Amino acid sequence: MTEISERYARHAAAFAATIAAVPADRWSAPSPCHGWTAADVVAHVVDVHGMFLGLVGRKPEPGPEDRAEAFAYVRDIVQADLEDPERAGATYEGMFGTQTFEGAVDGFVTFDLVVHRWDLGRAAGLDVAVPEDEFPRVAAVLEMMPDEVREAGTVFGPALTPPPGADAHTRLLAEIGRKAW
């Protein structure tokens, strides 16, 4: 395993555990992503995995309908591709120029898992936090994203002003456009 595939595996496992912990009656609960329910957050994460696989010419067959199984299905494909040097190094032309699949997964898909895990937890009434060791990576991704991404209001929203004396976690979430207070 590379550092990138290990990081992806760790955050994918945490996301899967959060899916498993969502109470059945909370799937239709609103999430911090404007207009999205808990179920919509998971569907988005599954779709993003498929989209990034598609950028390097890999289009997975339609997966299971069950949320947990659908995520496990795309997670397993991405994980296998990260552990295959040829597939991990496959390139595509994107918003930031030529990128490798591995770099894109590390720069966006894993970021998506981290942020949307918090969103899913919030919608489900679960105590979920952004891991402290990911704060610098989340901040770095925020800095390179164009304003249009914030305007979409799903991955990022407009930055909020955290309350005075807010901890680092609350300040980070406020920068993403999430209200954690």
99-157 residue pLDDT tens: 999 999 999 999 999 999 999 999 999 999 999 999 999 999 888 877 776 666 666 78
Q: What b/e string do you get for 4-20 counting C-beta neighbours within 10 Å, with b at 16 or more?
A: bbebbbbbbebbbebbe
Q: What is the pLDDT of residue 152?
A: 64
DSSP class of residue 24 equals G
- Residue 59 DSSP one-character state: -
Q: How far is CA 126 from the centre of its chain?
A: 17
The length of the chain is 181
Distance CA 110, CA 60 (A): 19
- What are the backbone angles phi and psi of residue 99, rounded to the nearest 5°? -135, 155
**Residue-level pLDDT at 9:** 98
Lowest-confidence region among 5-9, 86-90, 101-105, 153-157:
153-157
pLDDT at 153 (0 to 100)? 60
* Model pLDDT, residue 40: 97
Give the pLDDT of residue 154: 60
The tally of CA atoms less than 13 A away on the side-chain side of residue 106 is 17
Binned at pLDDT 50, 70 and 90, residue 159 comes out as confident
Extract the tokens encoding 105: 């997964």
Share of the chain above pLDDT 70, in %: 96
Average pLDDT over residues 46-59: 95
Residue entry with tokens 């720069």: 107
Confidence of residue 158 (pLDDT cuts 50, 70, 90): confident
Report the C-alpha gap between 41 and 55 in whole angstroms: 21
**Environment class of 148 (CB within 10 Å of its CB; exposed 0-12, middle 13-18, buried 19+):** exposed
Distance CA 1, CA 7 (A): 10
Q: Cβ(64)–Cβ(75) under 8 Å?
A: no
Mean pLDDT of 43-51: 97
Specify the pLDDT at position 156: 78
For residue 165, the model assigns a pLDDT of 97
Q: What band does 3 get if pLDDT is binned at 50, 70 and 90? A: very high
Q: CB–CB of 32/153 below 8 Å? A: no
Q: Which of the residue ranges 33-37, 146-150, 164-168 would you say has the lowest mean pLDDT?
A: 146-150
Q: How far is residue 181's CA from residue 177's CA, in Å, rounded to a whole number?
A: 12
